[in-house]
Chains A and B, each alone.
Chain A
Amino acid sequence: MSKPFISLLQREFSSRVWQLWGFFLAAALFQPLVYWLALKSVREPLAFEDIYVQSAAPVVLVILFAGLVGWMIWMSLRDVSNGSICTLMTLPGGRGQLFWSKLLGYAGAVFLLLAGVIAGILLCHPIYLSWRQEMARITSEEYSLTAGLWLSLTRLPLFRMLCPMTFPEILMSLLLLGALPVWACYTSWRIAGHRWIRGGILSLAAAFSWALVFRDRLMEPMSLNLSNLTILLIFTILLTVDSLWLLRRGDL
């Protein structure tokens, strides 16, 4: 990697990493909090993943991921509004590296948030175990749990998306997570360039395709809808190519 590219990458990721730590800590701490609150109202023995779904933890995830996408869009728009994009586009090494550095930086942000989410899930588990022990003490029943985390991570479709255990699922999760920074870059540049029709149509269509794949993973996790996955991949590539073309033309 060339030095200008590394500098851009540092700008896009390293210089903003403290902000991303905010997302990480929010995911790692809010999930156990809402999980603990949900446990207070549970009076019957339920599995770890069943209580997670009933709690507000999935809502926390939606807010955090939506917030991160919003953050990515805001960061890109800020580059345009304060004029720094003009300077960045004149750096040696070609304009394409601006897109790739943003993409890698934002992908790192998504990965950091994902790690925070997984850390939050791991922190929920000992809370669940101590609640189970308390339930066993109160009801005088013998509860034993073996490999409970393994069973939870494989049985809940949401966990299978966040922590995939098979190669096809890893690829699908990578596609879902990787499409977010691409979409954020493209959408923000289209907004900055006031390209509402073409940019709007493509952005909305890509978002719809992403939502379909996300829905498939949640509702039918054990079957692969290849057509929807292919369409999302095509949209991701299309948005990437269009973003590079935008930068090349300077049409921001």
Chain B
Amino acid sequence: MWNILRKYRGILSLSLAVIVVGAAYLLAWMPVLGKDFQIQLENTVGNPSAMGDFVITGTLTDGWEKTNFSLDSSGLSQKSQAISPDISEESSSFFDANTYFLPGKTVEEEFSADSREEQGWYEITKKLWSRQIQLVWDIQRFSFYSPTDSCVRINTGLTYPETACLTKSLVCGTYESTPSEEIIRENLSQQNYSPSKDLQDTILGDPNAGCVAEVNGRIYFVPTVSEIWEGTRYIYRIDRGESWAATAFAGAEESFGQVTPIAEVQNGNELDILGIYATLDGTLVLRVMRQGTILFQMYNPETGEMTGEVSAPGLWLVEGANFRFFPQENGFCASFTDYETEVSTLAALSGQNASWHLVQDVRQVSFLLEYAMWDGENLAAVGSKRQILGTKDVIRGTIWNPDGPIYDAQLNTIAEQDHQNEGHTHRFPQNLRIERRDSHD
């Protein structure tokens, strides 16, 4: 025996090393395949066949490893794996929007200079009360990992009918004495005006992304303003932008870039314009509000024609609720989510046969809605509820037909999620999506 060990000590040593390494992988992997770690399908209501062609997919991950799951009419499937290091730096771009206010007819001016702690330094301020304030809109597009950026500034032609206060201020120094009105006026000449709160509150929607939509590589924007502004609201197509470096020091009154108004917002003076979006087949969708009711106006970007207007009573939740838009071919889904109460509302609109209408009644769910889709008749939604009792997240999916809910499923992960048990890293649901079976395959 000893002779055999001596003779084959090299091979035996390497074999033992392989066994040890293999055992490590086995000991790590085995509990992952056990029911205590896997996602469990629980609390289902209705027949799974009601899912039809819908497939609910998603990931439970902590950024280091993930469990991908897929739920369809045949059941739940899942696969756990470590996340592979990534070499790709995806080119991602984002929009930034700013508003500027140009004074109209001056009603009153006020200049002041407040001394600062440092000797010779003052905060100089000019307040201007003006009527017919003009609204200038600034859109910037930035790209990571590539040098492109593009800026457009346009005077929307909208004017504020009431008197409002605009302010300029600057902290500057090396004054021997309190600066005079002339000096203040001169030093503030390059500054842009800041609006009063009342005026700022008339600019609506998501300040960065809500006023811009992209269709077939073209950018469209609409000023998201309340109904109080006077003038014609247009949907603009951005034809050409300038580089940020060339426009960084341009005054608010200077327009640059080139835009084309492609559509006039119908009944714009009666509407609060909240955002612009695009369906997958290129229809522009305006989200507006008229007397507390959410409306969707659909426009053809090629002709500028409004192709439909649909109201969604009951879709609006509360002030501060988060709006989500889920584009599809020939339609879209729209939802509001209140993160305080974890309640979401959902509407599905279809533009098939050149006629826009609600696919079903507005639905309400008691989870944070992440994605929704309809297939012509049935509507599907998926979302999550945050930590229940501080231990776990759950994933919820619901299917409705025109008569009401026909299937509801809850996915739990049994693994304790509390940070004290699993360390500071938490596994959370991500990329919750709904697909149609043919596209999923």
Total A residues in contact with B, Cβ cutoff 8 Å: 49
**A226 contacts partner chain B, Cβ-Cβ < 8 Å:** yes
Interface centre among A121, A154, A224 (most CB of B within 10 A): A154
Q: Give the CA-CA distance A45 to B420 in the complex, in Å.
A: 6
Q: Give the CA-CA distance A38 to B206 in the complex, in Å.
A: 51
Q: Find chain B residues with CB under 8 A from A149 CB.
A: 27-28, 31
* A130-152 residues at the B interface, CB under 8 angstroms: 141, 143-151
Q: Looking across the interface, which residue of chain A has its beta carbon closest to that of B27?
A: A149
Stretch of B76-84, B160-168, B227-235, B314-322 on the interface side: B76-84
Q: Find chain B residues with CB under 8 A from A150 CB.
A: 28-29, 31-32, 37, 65, 80
Indicate if the CB atoms of B31 and A47 lie closer than 8 Å.
Answer: no
* From B65, B83, B420, contact of A151 by CB (8 A): B65
**A169 contacts partner chain B, Cβ-Cβ < 8 Å:** yes
Q: Give the CA-CA distance A17 to B18 in the complex, in Å.
A: 15
Indicate if the CB atoms of B423 and A155 lie closer than 8 Å.
Answer: yes
Stretch of B7-15, B51-59, B217-225 on the interface side: B7-15
Q: Find chain B residues with CB under 8 A from A158 CB.
A: none
**A221 contacts partner chain B, Cβ-Cβ < 8 Å:** yes
Nearest CB in chain A: distance from B292 CB, A:
47
**A64 contacts partner chain B, Cβ-Cβ < 8 Å:** no
Nearest CB in chain A: distance from B145 CB, A:
13
**B23 contacts partner chain A, Cβ-Cβ < 8 Å:** yes
Nearest CB in chain B: distance from A222 CB, A:
5
Q: Looking across the interface, which residue of chain B has its beta carbon closest to that of A44?
A: B420
Q: What does the 1/0 interface line of B41-71 toward A look like (CB < 8 Å)?
A: 0000000000000000000001111000000
Indicate if the CB atoms of A226 and B21 lie closer than 8 Å.
Answer: no
Q: Looking across the interface, which residue of chain B has its beta carbon closest to that of A156?
A: B64
Q: Looking across the interface, which residue of chain A has its beta carbon closest to that of B416?
A: A144
Indicate if the CB atoms of B24 and A169 lie closer than 8 Å.
Answer: no
Interface centre among B13, B21, B36, B80 (most CB of A within 10 A): B13
Total B residues in contact with A, Cβ cutoff 8 Å: 41
**B25 contacts partner chain A, Cβ-Cβ < 8 Å:** yes
With contacts A46-B423, A146-B414, A149-B31 taken as known, whether A166 is within 8 angstroms of B13 at the C-beta atoms is no
Q: Looking across the interface, which residue of chain A has its beta carbon closest to that of B14?
A: A108
Q: Find chain B residues with CB under 8 A from A223 CB.
A: 85-87
**B183 contacts partner chain A, Cβ-Cβ < 8 Å:** no
Q: Looking across the interface, which residue of chain B has its beta carbon closest to that of A28?
A: B20
Indicate if the CB atoms of B84 and A118 lie closer than 8 Å.
Answer: no
Q: Give the CA-CA distance A143 to B418 in the complex, in Å.
A: 10
Q: Give the CA-CA distance A116 to B32 in the complex, in Å.
A: 24
Indicate if the CB atoms of B421 and A21 lie closer than 8 Å.
Answer: no
Q: Looking across the interface, which residue of chain B has its beta carbon closest to that of A139?
A: B420
Indicate if the CB atoms of B87 and A224 lie closer than 8 Å.
Answer: yes
Indicate if the CB atoms of B23 and A122 lie closer than 8 Å.
Answer: yes
**B197 contacts partner chain A, Cβ-Cβ < 8 Å:** no
Indicate if the CB atoms of A168 and B27 lie closer than 8 Å.
Answer: no
Q: Give the CA-CA distance A146 to B421 in the complex, in Å.
A: 10
Q: Find chain A residues with CB under 8 A from B414 CB.
A: 146
Indicate if the CB atoms of A146 and B36 lie closer than 8 Å.
Answer: yes
Indicate if the CB atoms of B421 and A115 lie closer than 8 Å.
Answer: no
Q: Find chain A residues with CB under 8 A from B18 CB.
A: 115
* A95-129 residues at the B interface, CB under 8 angstroms: 108, 111-112, 114-116, 118-119, 121-122
Nearest CB in chain B: distance from A170 CB, A:
10
Q: Give the CA-CA distance A121 to B424 in the complex, in Å.
A: 20
Interface residues of A (CB under 8 A from B): 9-10, 13-14, 17-18, 20-21, 24, 45-47, 49-50, 108, 111-112, 114-116, 118-119, 121-122, 141, 143-151, 153-155, 160, 163, 165-169, 221-224, 226
Interface residues of B (CB under 8 A from A): 9-10, 13-14, 16-18, 20-21, 23-25, 27-29, 31-32, 34, 36-37, 62-65, 80-87, 414-416, 420-425
Beyond the given pairs A20-B13, A45-B421, 17 more chain A to chain B contacts, judged by CB atoms under 8 angstroms and listed by A's residue number, are A13-B10, A14-B9, A17-B13, A108-B14, A115-B17, A115-B18, A146-B416, A147-B415, A155-B62, A155-B423, A163-B25, A166-B81, A167-B84, A168-B85, A221-B85, A223-B87, A224-B86
